């Protein structure tokens, strides 16, 4: 089976500090890969290399031709002064039918949130909406950066069960 993404000998350095040193990683279709390490270990930097957001690196990134990547950031900052409900937020990523929105939210257990204000969501609800948004794009690869951050214990359990499905 060929990899969706292959990272070879990835190195990233900020000033004198090596953040990533000859990292190799292969991401396969249908497999869950988890990056584990302490704060500052370079997990988010590696994700940025994978997504093409970190330009200053050495090594090689090989992606399957036409690869569609869905990305759920560690934290999403929204302007508090913008009135934005979940439906409008999801539609910022593209034009979707009501059925597509409902199906994506149902998949993550958040269909009841469609009319809710984005600013009023709990940490767990916010993560579910972000995952639904990524899934609407029908990605080949789904990248989650610290998906359980700001989520209570039960929410973390639910979130990891969702990811496992």
pLDDT digits (tens, 9 = 90+) for 52-62: 999 999 999 99
Instruction: Categorize the per-residue pLDDT at 79 as very low, low, confident or very high, splitting at 50, 70 and 90.
Output: confident
Q: What is the pLDDT of residue 53?
A: 92
**Is the pLDDT reported for residue 40 higher than 90?**
no
**Is the pLDDT reported for residue 28 higher than 70?**
yes
- Any idea which fold 1-67 has? Rossmann fold (3.40.50)
Every domain range in the chain assigned CATH 3.40.50.300: 1-67, 68-165
- CATH: 3.40.47.10, 3.40.50.300, 3.30.930.10, 3.90.320.10. Which one for 68-165? 3.40.50.300
By CB neighbour count within 10 A (0-12 exposed, 13-18 middle, 19+ buried), where does 148 fall? middle
Residue range 138-150: mean pLDDT, rounded: 85
Average pLDDT, the chain: 90
Distance set, CA 39 to CA 19, 84, 129 (Å)? 11, 32, 25
Residue range 61-79: mean pLDDT, rounded: 90
Q: Residue written as tokens 């070879």? A: 8
Residues 83-108 have pLDDT tens digits of: 899 999 999 988 999 999 999 999 88
- Helix axis angle for 123-136 and 153-164, nearest 10°, is 20
Q: What is the pLDDT of residue 58?
A: 96
Residue range 5-14: mean pLDDT, rounded: 96
Query: What gap in Å lies between CA 57 and CA 74, rounded to an integer?
Result: 21
Within 8 A by CB and 6+ apart from 135, the residues are 70, 104, 107, 108, 142
């Amino acid at each position: 089976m060929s990899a969706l993404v292959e990272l070879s000998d990835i190195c990233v350095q900020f000033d004198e500090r090596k953040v990533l040193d000859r990292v190799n990683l292969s991401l396969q279709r249908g497999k869950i890969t988890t990056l584990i390490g302490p704060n500052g270990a370079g997990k988010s930097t590696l994700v940025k290399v994978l997504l093409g957001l970190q330009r200053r690196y050495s090594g090689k990134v090989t992606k399957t031709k036409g690869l569609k990547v869905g990305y759920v950031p560690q934290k999403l900052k929204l302007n508090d002064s913008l009135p934005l409900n979940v439906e409008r937020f999801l539609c910022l990523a593209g034009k979707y039918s009501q059925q597509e929105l409902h199906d994506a939210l149902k998949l993550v257990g958040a269909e009841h949130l469609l009319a809710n204000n984005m600013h009023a969501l709990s940490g767990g609800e916010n993560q579910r909406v972000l995952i639904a948004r990524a899934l609407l794009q029908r990605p080949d690869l789904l990248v989650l950066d610290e998906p359980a951050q700001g989520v209570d214990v039960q929410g973390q359990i639910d979130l990891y069960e969702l990811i496992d499905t």
